[in-house]
Amino acid sequence: MAKKTIVAVAIFLFLFSTTGYAQSTSLGVKASTLGLGLELERSFSDSISGRIGVNYFTYGYSGTEDNIEYDFDLKLRSVSALLDWHPFKGSFRFSGGAIYNGNKLDAKAKPSSEFDIGDGTYYNIDTLKGKINFNDIAPYLGFGWNTSSGKDKGLGFLFELGAIYQGSPRVELSATGADTSLPDFQANLAKEEDNLQSDMDEFKIYPVIALGLIYRF
């Protein structure tokens, strides 16, 4: 539902027209902290334009959280609907809007002879897995440069700095093994979720840095 809302707003922006101004359209490719992306931009006036974009990337890495070693699988997936304001009617712009945030982390603990989970130590855990998700809809603010802005057509460069407020992560852990049937295990697993969530709170605000090429036609 959230993704459909973002797409509907984006379509509305691109159907919107203003009188007395020759609109132009551009297509951009970029690499950013949101992944690899495609972006379609439409100018509504010499100072206002709108953009829709999609981003995707996957990355695997290892790390330690709360004294447990995990293999992480990061999946970056997002759809953006943004408005740009060019205060000087040039390449510099301020941007704001909303992002459908499908970014998530899957975690799998590395095999170990013992696991410190919550306030307990367990020796018979076969698997320990986690899912880390964020708010589906995240507001975005940023600024940058699009050197194709104001041109009739041609190739340009884009650079952008911004931030997404994606809220506190939602952490869900699951485990298998003989010790999961112990009376205190579920309570300690819940504490471990809280500990992991606290470690991930630094990602409430996610920085965005983007570089790319854009062609106006």
Enter the pTM of the model. Answer: 0.82
Please state, for a pLDDT cut of 70, what percent of the chain lies above it: 89
Question: Strand, coil or helix: what is 70?
Answer: strand
Assess contact for 146 and 156: CB atoms under 8 A: yes
Amino acid identity for residue 75 in this structure: K
Amino acid identity for residue 103 in this structure: N
Please state, for a pLDDT cut of 90, what percent of the chain lies above it: 75
Q: Work out the mean pLDDT of the chain and round it to a whole number.
A: 89
* 88-146 pLDDT tens trace: 988 999 999 999 999 999 999 999 999 999 999 999 999 999 999 999 999 999 999 99
- pLDDT value at position 152? 78
The Cα–Cα gap between 95 and 8 comes to 19
Assess contact for 39 and 50: CB atoms under 8 A: no
pLDDT band at 210 (very low <50, low <70, confident <90, very high): very high
Q: How many CA atoms lie within 13 A of 109 on its CB side?
A: 23
Q: What is the mean pLDDT of residues 71-79?
A: 95
Domains and CATH numbers, the chain: 2-216 (2.40.160.170)
Instruction: Tell me the torsion sign for CA atoms 138, 141, 142, 147.
Output: positive
* 187-201 pLDDT tens trace: 999 999 999 888 888
17 pLDDT above the threshold of 80: no
- pLDDT value at position 12? 52
The Cα–Cα gap between 163 and 40 comes to 20
